[in-house]
Amino acid sequence: MQYKEYSKFLTDKKDIAVVVDKNIEAIELQKVIKTAGGKISERFYCFLMYILEKVLMIIKSIAF
């Protein structure tokens, strides 16, 4: 049986949600966040995508 010792430092988990153009794909945004965030954004994933369509308006929100 193997185990991995817990880190002595607390991890910090944060969410980020952005409203983007309807043509932006989550994977594109994920690449930008990873590049800009560097090491602090090592592990993250898209957990919510919300699209609201109304007459003459489309809102797309993506959360990581």
Q: Digits of tens for pLDDT over the chain (64 positions)?
A: 777 776 676 666 778 888 988 888 999 988 888 888 877 777 778 888 989 888 778 889 988 8
Q: What is the pTM of this model?
A: 0.62
Q: Which two tokens stand for residue 12?
A: 């910090």
Classify burial at 9, counting beta carbons within 10 Å of its beta carbon; exposed 0-12, middle 13-18, buried 19 or more.
exposed
What pLDDT sits at residue 64? 85
